[in-house]
Amino acid sequence: MPICKGVRQVAHLDCPGGGQITVDGGYGYIGHMAAPNGTSIVDLRDPAAPKIIAQLTIPKGLHSHKVQVANGIMLVNQEIVSKEQAAAEGLRGGLGIYDVSSPRQPKEITRWHCDGTGVHRFTFDGRYAYISPEIDGYLGNIVMILDLANPSSPREVGRWWMPGQWTAGGETPTWPGRQHRCHHAIRHENRLYVSYWHGGGVILDISDLSKPKQISGFDWSPPFPWPTHSLVPVPFPINGRRYLIVADEDVNPLDKNMAPELAAFIWIVDATDESRPVPVATFQVDGIHGHRNPEMTGCHQPVEVIRGTEIPVAWFAQGLRFIDFSNPMAPKETAHFIPDLPAGASSVSSNDVFMDERGLVYLMDRVGGLSIIERI
Protein backbone atom coordinates (compact mmCIF):
# COMPACT_ATOMS: atom_id res chain seq x y z
CA MET A 1 0.00 0.00 0.00
CA PRO A 2 1.18 3.57 -0.65
CA ILE A 3 2.49 5.56 2.31
CA CYS A 4 0.26 8.58 2.85
CA LYS A 5 0.41 11.52 5.22
CA GLY A 6 -2.08 14.34 4.71
CA VAL A 7 -3.17 12.97 1.34
CA ARG A 8 -5.21 10.15 -0.13
CA GLN A 9 -4.71 8.25 -3.36
CA VAL A 10 -7.63 8.83 -5.70
CA ALA A 11 -6.44 6.38 -8.37
CA HIS A 12 -3.41 4.72 -9.90
CA LEU A 13 -2.87 4.07 -13.59
CA ASP A 14 -0.50 1.23 -14.41
CA CYS A 15 1.35 2.38 -17.52
CA PRO A 16 4.94 2.56 -18.76
CA GLY A 17 7.12 4.89 -16.73
CA GLY A 18 7.09 8.53 -17.68
CA GLY A 19 9.16 11.66 -17.63
CA GLN A 20 6.33 14.22 -17.59
CA ILE A 21 2.60 14.55 -16.96
CA THR A 22 0.53 17.56 -17.96
CA VAL A 23 -3.24 17.99 -17.68
CA ASP A 24 -5.42 20.15 -19.91
CA GLY A 25 -9.20 20.23 -20.20
CA GLY A 26 -9.78 17.05 -18.23
CA TYR A 27 -7.23 15.01 -20.18
CA GLY A 28 -3.75 13.96 -19.14
CA TYR A 29 -0.76 13.75 -21.46
CA ILE A 30 2.12 11.49 -20.45
CA GLY A 31 5.56 11.52 -22.03
CA HIS A 32 7.12 8.08 -21.52
CA MET A 33 10.75 7.32 -20.81
CA ALA A 34 11.59 4.74 -23.47
CA ALA A 35 10.67 3.55 -26.96
CA PRO A 36 8.42 2.24 -28.30
CA ASN A 37 6.28 4.19 -25.83
CA GLY A 38 6.04 7.81 -26.89
CA THR A 39 3.01 9.68 -25.53
CA SER A 40 -0.21 8.49 -23.90
CA ILE A 41 -3.42 10.52 -23.65
CA VAL A 42 -5.57 9.74 -20.61
CA ASP A 43 -9.19 10.64 -19.91
CA LEU A 44 -9.15 12.15 -16.41
CA ARG A 45 -12.63 13.66 -16.31
CA ASP A 46 -13.41 11.05 -13.68
CA PRO A 47 -10.13 11.11 -11.76
CA ALA A 48 -11.04 7.95 -9.88
CA ALA A 49 -11.14 6.01 -13.16
CA PRO A 50 -8.36 7.20 -15.51
CA LYS A 51 -8.46 5.60 -18.97
CA ILE A 52 -5.84 5.64 -21.74
CA ILE A 53 -7.64 6.72 -24.92
CA ALA A 54 -4.77 7.24 -27.38
CA GLN A 55 -1.09 6.35 -27.66
CA LEU A 56 1.77 7.45 -29.88
CA THR A 57 4.84 5.30 -30.45
CA ILE A 58 8.41 6.24 -31.33
CA PRO A 59 11.28 4.29 -32.92
CA LYS A 60 14.18 2.95 -30.90
CA GLY A 61 17.02 5.41 -30.82
CA LEU A 62 14.72 8.25 -29.74
CA HIS A 63 12.81 9.08 -26.63
CA SER A 64 9.88 11.42 -26.18
CA HIS A 65 9.59 11.89 -22.44
CA LYS A 66 8.30 15.50 -22.29
CA VAL A 67 4.94 16.88 -23.35
CA GLN A 68 3.08 20.19 -23.16
CA VAL A 69 -0.47 21.07 -24.28
CA ALA A 70 -2.27 24.37 -24.80
CA ASN A 71 -5.00 25.65 -27.13
CA GLY A 72 -5.58 22.20 -28.61
CA ILE A 73 -1.91 21.84 -29.63
CA MET A 74 0.35 19.18 -28.17
CA LEU A 75 4.14 19.40 -28.33
CA VAL A 76 6.36 16.42 -27.58
CA ASN A 77 10.14 16.33 -27.52
CA GLN A 78 12.12 14.02 -29.73
CA GLU A 79 15.62 13.43 -28.40
CA ILE A 80 18.26 11.10 -29.75
CA VAL A 81 19.43 8.58 -27.17
CA SER A 82 21.42 6.35 -29.53
CA LYS A 83 23.44 8.27 -32.11
CA GLU A 84 24.46 5.06 -33.88
CA GLN A 85 20.88 3.87 -34.31
CA ALA A 86 19.66 7.34 -35.24
CA ALA A 87 22.32 7.62 -37.94
CA ALA A 88 21.56 4.14 -39.27
CA GLU A 89 17.83 4.83 -39.50
CA GLY A 90 17.90 8.49 -40.45
CA LEU A 91 16.28 9.68 -37.21
CA ARG A 92 16.38 13.35 -36.24
CA GLY A 93 15.63 15.09 -32.99
CA GLY A 94 13.32 18.05 -32.45
CA LEU A 95 9.64 18.51 -31.64
CA GLY A 96 6.51 16.67 -32.68
CA ILE A 97 3.52 19.01 -33.09
CA TYR A 98 -0.01 17.57 -32.90
CA ASP A 99 -3.62 18.70 -33.09
CA VAL A 100 -5.34 17.33 -29.96
CA SER A 101 -8.58 19.29 -30.25
CA SER A 102 -10.03 15.77 -30.27
CA PRO A 103 -7.85 14.03 -27.64
CA ARG A 104 -8.96 10.57 -28.78
CA GLN A 105 -7.61 11.24 -32.26
CA PRO A 106 -4.30 13.13 -32.10
CA LYS A 107 -3.22 14.26 -35.55
CA GLU A 108 0.34 15.10 -36.45
CA ILE A 109 0.63 18.61 -37.85
CA THR A 110 4.36 18.67 -38.49
CA ARG A 111 7.74 17.93 -37.00
CA TRP A 112 10.29 20.60 -36.24
CA HIS A 113 13.79 19.21 -36.64
CA CYS A 114 17.17 20.41 -35.46
CA ASP A 115 20.65 19.03 -35.77
CA GLY A 116 22.39 17.62 -32.73
CA THR A 117 20.50 15.42 -30.27
CA GLY A 118 17.23 17.36 -30.48
CA VAL A 119 15.15 18.93 -27.70
CA HIS A 120 15.35 17.93 -24.05
CA ARG A 121 12.74 19.87 -22.04
CA PHE A 122 10.54 22.87 -22.80
CA THR A 123 7.50 24.91 -21.81
CA PHE A 124 4.64 26.14 -24.02
CA ASP A 125 2.19 28.97 -23.44
CA GLY A 126 -0.10 28.28 -26.41
CA ARG A 127 1.77 30.61 -28.77
CA TYR A 128 5.46 30.38 -27.96
CA ALA A 129 7.55 27.35 -27.06
CA TYR A 130 10.64 27.90 -24.91
CA ILE A 131 12.83 24.97 -25.82
CA SER A 132 16.29 23.54 -25.07
CA PRO A 133 17.65 22.23 -28.38
CA GLU A 134 21.12 20.96 -29.06
CA ILE A 135 22.10 22.35 -32.45
CA ASP A 136 25.18 22.39 -34.64
CA GLY A 137 27.78 25.00 -33.82
CA TYR A 138 27.02 25.10 -30.08
CA LEU A 139 28.39 23.03 -27.23
CA GLY A 140 25.39 21.68 -25.32
CA ASN A 141 21.76 22.75 -25.35
CA ILE A 142 20.84 26.43 -25.68
CA VAL A 143 17.68 28.52 -25.15
CA MET A 144 15.44 28.96 -28.20
CA ILE A 145 12.03 30.59 -28.61
CA LEU A 146 9.70 29.22 -31.30
CA ASP A 147 6.57 31.00 -32.53
CA LEU A 148 3.73 28.54 -33.17
CA ALA A 149 1.09 31.05 -34.26
CA ASN A 150 0.99 28.80 -37.32
CA PRO A 151 1.61 25.34 -35.83
CA SER A 152 2.32 23.87 -39.26
CA SER A 153 5.25 26.25 -39.70
CA PRO A 154 7.13 26.89 -36.43
CA ARG A 155 9.41 29.90 -36.64
CA GLU A 156 12.43 30.67 -34.50
CA VAL A 157 12.16 34.19 -33.10
CA GLY A 158 15.01 34.28 -30.59
CA ARG A 159 17.86 32.36 -29.00
CA TRP A 160 20.28 32.78 -26.11
CA TRP A 161 23.32 30.83 -25.05
CA MET A 162 25.83 31.04 -22.27
CA PRO A 163 28.98 32.77 -23.54
CA GLY A 164 31.43 30.01 -24.42
CA GLN A 165 28.86 27.70 -26.02
CA TRP A 166 29.02 29.09 -29.55
CA THR A 167 32.15 27.26 -30.58
CA ALA A 168 31.44 27.77 -34.31
CA GLY A 169 31.57 31.51 -33.61
CA GLY A 170 34.99 31.24 -32.01
CA GLU A 171 33.88 31.12 -28.38
CA THR A 172 35.79 28.98 -25.91
CA PRO A 173 34.04 27.38 -22.93
CA THR A 174 35.56 27.75 -19.48
CA TRP A 175 34.02 24.48 -18.29
CA PRO A 176 34.63 20.85 -19.27
CA GLY A 177 32.41 19.09 -21.79
CA ARG A 178 28.68 19.84 -21.84
CA GLN A 179 28.40 20.75 -18.16
CA HIS A 180 26.89 24.17 -18.92
CA ARG A 181 23.77 23.63 -20.98
CA CYS A 182 20.13 24.66 -20.95
CA HIS A 183 17.84 22.22 -19.17
CA HIS A 184 14.63 24.22 -19.61
CA ALA A 185 13.09 27.66 -19.36
CA ILE A 186 9.89 28.83 -17.64
CA ARG A 187 8.22 32.10 -18.64
CA HIS A 188 6.56 34.54 -16.24
CA GLU A 189 5.48 37.85 -17.74
CA ASN A 190 8.49 39.19 -19.70
CA ARG A 191 11.08 37.01 -18.00
CA LEU A 192 12.51 33.58 -18.68
CA TYR A 193 13.81 31.62 -15.71
CA VAL A 194 16.34 29.19 -17.11
CA SER A 195 18.03 26.24 -15.46
CA TYR A 196 21.49 25.71 -16.93
CA TRP A 197 22.61 22.39 -15.41
CA HIS A 198 26.08 22.81 -13.89
CA GLY A 199 25.97 26.39 -15.16
CA GLY A 200 23.40 27.24 -12.46
CA GLY A 201 20.41 29.48 -13.14
CA VAL A 202 19.86 32.48 -15.40
CA ILE A 203 17.18 35.19 -15.50
CA LEU A 204 16.53 36.54 -19.00
CA ASP A 205 14.62 39.65 -20.05
CA ILE A 206 12.45 38.75 -23.06
CA SER A 207 10.67 42.09 -23.47
CA ASP A 208 12.04 41.75 -27.00
CA LEU A 209 11.63 38.08 -27.85
CA SER A 210 14.15 38.37 -30.64
CA LYS A 211 16.89 39.55 -28.28
CA PRO A 212 16.82 37.80 -24.89
CA LYS A 213 19.12 39.60 -22.48
CA GLN A 214 20.66 38.23 -19.31
CA ILE A 215 19.72 40.12 -16.16
CA SER A 216 21.61 37.91 -13.73
CA GLY A 217 22.71 34.41 -12.92
CA PHE A 218 23.85 32.26 -10.03
CA ASP A 219 25.73 29.02 -9.72
CA TRP A 220 26.53 26.93 -6.64
CA SER A 221 27.82 23.91 -8.53
CA PRO A 222 30.55 23.77 -7.21
CA PRO A 223 30.76 23.72 -4.23
CA PHE A 224 27.60 21.60 -4.40
CA PRO A 225 27.95 18.73 -6.86
CA TRP A 226 24.50 18.53 -8.49
CA PRO A 227 23.09 20.25 -11.59
CA THR A 228 20.35 22.88 -11.44
CA HIS A 229 17.14 21.35 -12.78
CA SER A 230 14.41 24.00 -12.43
CA LEU A 231 13.91 27.68 -11.67
CA VAL A 232 10.23 28.10 -10.84
CA PRO A 233 9.03 31.68 -10.29
CA VAL A 234 6.52 32.26 -7.51
CA PRO A 235 3.88 34.34 -9.36
CA PHE A 236 2.85 36.41 -6.34
CA PRO A 237 4.77 38.38 -3.71
CA ILE A 238 5.22 37.21 -0.12
CA ASN A 239 5.58 40.07 2.35
CA GLY A 240 6.29 42.33 -0.60
CA ARG A 241 9.16 40.23 -1.92
CA ARG A 242 9.60 37.99 -4.96
CA TYR A 243 10.92 34.43 -4.78
CA LEU A 244 12.09 31.54 -6.91
CA ILE A 245 11.85 27.84 -6.08
CA VAL A 246 15.09 26.32 -7.37
CA ALA A 247 15.53 22.56 -7.58
CA ASP A 248 18.81 20.73 -7.99
CA GLU A 249 18.54 17.24 -9.49
CA ASP A 250 20.06 14.26 -7.72
CA VAL A 251 21.94 12.96 -10.78
CA ASN A 252 25.19 13.54 -12.64
CA PRO A 253 27.29 15.03 -9.82
CA LEU A 254 30.42 16.94 -10.71
CA ASP A 255 32.32 14.64 -8.37
CA LYS A 256 30.77 11.79 -6.38
CA ASN A 257 33.17 12.52 -3.54
CA MET A 258 32.40 16.25 -3.41
CA ALA A 259 29.56 15.97 -0.86
CA PRO A 260 28.98 12.26 -0.20
CA GLU A 261 26.94 12.93 2.96
CA LEU A 262 24.35 15.01 1.08
CA ALA A 263 21.71 14.62 -1.64
CA ALA A 264 20.17 17.27 -3.89
CA PHE A 265 17.53 19.56 -2.37
CA ILE A 266 15.34 22.66 -2.85
CA TRP A 267 16.56 26.25 -2.53
CA ILE A 268 14.41 29.30 -1.83
CA VAL A 269 15.88 32.30 -3.65
CA ASP A 270 14.90 35.93 -3.04
CA ALA A 271 14.78 37.54 -6.50
CA THR A 272 13.24 40.86 -5.48
CA ASP A 273 16.38 42.50 -6.81
CA GLU A 274 16.66 40.63 -10.11
CA SER A 275 20.24 41.75 -10.56
CA ARG A 276 21.25 39.99 -7.35
CA PRO A 277 19.20 36.87 -6.54
CA VAL A 278 20.03 35.61 -3.06
CA PRO A 279 19.41 32.11 -1.62
CA VAL A 280 17.68 32.50 1.75
CA ALA A 281 16.72 28.93 2.72
CA THR A 282 16.87 25.27 1.73
CA PHE A 283 14.67 22.24 2.27
CA GLN A 284 15.62 18.56 2.45
CA VAL A 285 13.53 15.53 3.37
CA ASP A 286 14.26 14.35 6.91
CA GLY A 287 16.75 11.53 7.27
CA ILE A 288 18.68 11.97 4.01
CA HIS A 289 21.55 14.23 5.03
CA GLY A 290 24.46 12.77 6.95
CA HIS A 291 25.38 9.62 5.03
CA ARG A 292 26.24 8.51 1.51
CA ASN A 293 23.12 8.03 -0.60
CA PRO A 294 22.54 6.23 -3.89
CA GLU A 295 22.01 8.52 -6.87
CA MET A 296 18.35 9.54 -7.37
CA THR A 297 17.63 9.59 -3.64
CA GLY A 298 17.11 13.35 -3.44
CA CYS A 299 15.23 16.09 -5.24
CA HIS A 300 14.07 16.13 -8.84
CA GLN A 301 11.17 18.33 -9.95
CA PRO A 302 8.79 20.81 -8.27
CA VAL A 303 5.41 21.63 -9.76
CA GLU A 304 5.94 24.30 -12.43
CA VAL A 305 2.63 26.15 -12.01
CA ILE A 306 2.50 27.47 -8.44
CA ARG A 307 -1.04 28.08 -7.15
CA GLY A 308 -0.29 28.81 -3.48
CA THR A 309 2.38 28.71 -0.81
CA GLU A 310 2.23 24.91 -0.56
CA ILE A 311 3.74 23.04 -3.49
CA PRO A 312 4.17 19.37 -4.40
CA VAL A 313 7.66 18.20 -5.38
CA ALA A 314 8.67 14.93 -7.04
CA TRP A 315 11.54 13.72 -4.84
CA PHE A 316 12.80 10.59 -6.64
CA ALA A 317 13.13 7.77 -4.05
CA GLN A 318 11.27 9.83 -1.43
CA GLY A 319 8.08 9.99 -3.49
CA LEU A 320 5.96 13.16 -3.44
CA ARG A 321 6.63 15.86 -0.85
CA PHE A 322 4.43 18.88 -0.09
CA ILE A 323 6.40 21.94 1.02
CA ASP A 324 4.94 25.01 2.71
CA PHE A 325 7.05 28.10 1.95
CA SER A 326 4.66 30.74 3.37
CA ASN A 327 7.65 31.68 5.51
CA PRO A 328 10.32 31.64 2.81
CA MET A 329 13.08 31.63 5.41
CA ALA A 330 11.82 28.37 6.94
CA PRO A 331 10.17 26.00 4.41
CA LYS A 332 8.65 22.88 5.95
CA GLU A 333 7.06 19.62 4.88
CA THR A 334 3.30 19.39 5.39
CA ALA A 335 2.38 16.09 3.71
CA HIS A 336 3.84 13.28 1.64
CA PHE A 337 2.95 10.33 -0.57
CA ILE A 338 5.15 7.37 -1.49
CA PRO A 339 3.62 5.11 -4.15
CA ASP A 340 3.82 1.35 -4.18
CA LEU A 341 7.20 -0.04 -5.16
CA PRO A 342 7.12 -0.99 -8.86
CA ALA A 343 7.73 -4.65 -9.62
CA GLY A 344 11.44 -5.38 -9.90
CA ALA A 345 12.50 -1.91 -8.71
CA SER A 346 14.65 -1.24 -5.66
CA SER A 347 12.96 2.11 -4.99
CA VAL A 348 10.25 4.36 -6.33
CA SER A 349 11.40 7.03 -8.78
CA SER A 350 8.98 9.95 -8.59
CA ASN A 351 9.90 11.98 -11.66
CA ASP A 352 7.33 14.67 -12.39
CA VAL A 353 4.28 16.33 -10.83
CA PHE A 354 1.35 18.44 -12.02
CA MET A 355 -1.45 20.14 -10.08
CA ASP A 356 -4.72 21.00 -11.83
CA GLU A 357 -7.27 23.72 -11.07
CA ARG A 358 -9.19 21.34 -8.82
CA GLY A 359 -6.13 20.87 -6.61
CA LEU A 360 -5.65 17.26 -7.71
CA VAL A 361 -2.01 16.24 -7.95
CA TYR A 362 -0.68 13.91 -10.64
CA LEU A 363 2.57 12.11 -9.81
CA MET A 364 4.52 10.35 -12.55
CA ASP A 365 6.97 7.61 -11.66
CA ARG A 366 9.66 6.91 -14.24
CA VAL A 367 9.08 3.18 -13.68
CA GLY A 368 5.70 2.63 -12.02
CA GLY A 369 3.07 4.72 -13.75
CA LEU A 370 0.70 7.52 -12.69
CA SER A 371 -0.74 8.22 -9.22
CA ILE A 372 -3.55 10.71 -8.67
CA ILE A 373 -3.51 12.27 -5.20
CA GLU A 374 -5.79 14.56 -3.25
CA ARG A 375 -4.70 16.70 -0.32
CA ILE A 376 -6.80 16.15 2.83
User: Cα separation of 216 and 218, whole Å?
Assistant: 7
How many other C-beta atoms are found inside a 10 Å radius of the C-beta of residue 352? 25
In angstroms, the Cα distances linking 82 to 16, 30, 117, 343 are 20, 22, 9, 27
In this prediction, residue 86 carries a pLDDT of 84
pLDDT in tens, the chain (376 residues): 899 999 999 999 999 999 999 999 999 999 999 999 999 999 999 999 999 999 999 999 999 999 999 999 999 999 999 888 888 888 999 999 999 999 999 999 999 999 889 999 999 999 999 999 999 999 999 999 999 999 999 999 999 999 999 999 999 999 999 999 999 999 999 999 999 999 999 999 999 999 999 999 999 999 999 999 999 999 999 999 999 999 999 999 999 899 989 999 999 999 999 999 999 999 999 999 988 899 999 999 999 999 999 999 999 999 999 999 999 999 999 999 999 998 888 999 999 999 999 999 999 999 989 999 999 9
Structural contact between residues 16 and 32, judged by C-beta atoms closer than 8 angstroms: yes
CA dihedral 115, 84, 98, 36 (to 10 degrees): -160
Instruction: Count Cβ neighbours within 10 Å for each residue of 293-323 and write b for 16 or more, e otherwise.
Output: beebbbbbbbbbebeebbbbbbbbbbbbbbb
Predicted TM-score of the model (pTM): 0.97
Nearest in space to 230 (alpha carbons), one of 195, 199, 180: 195
In this prediction, residue 343 carries a pLDDT of 84
Helix/strand/coil for 85: helix
Task: Give the type of residue at 114.
Answer: C
Instruction: Name all domains of the chain by residue range, CATH numbers in brackets.
Output: 3-375 (2.130.10.10)
Structural contact between residues 227 and 198, judged by C-beta atoms closer than 8 angstroms: yes
In this prediction, residue 108 carries a pLDDT of 98
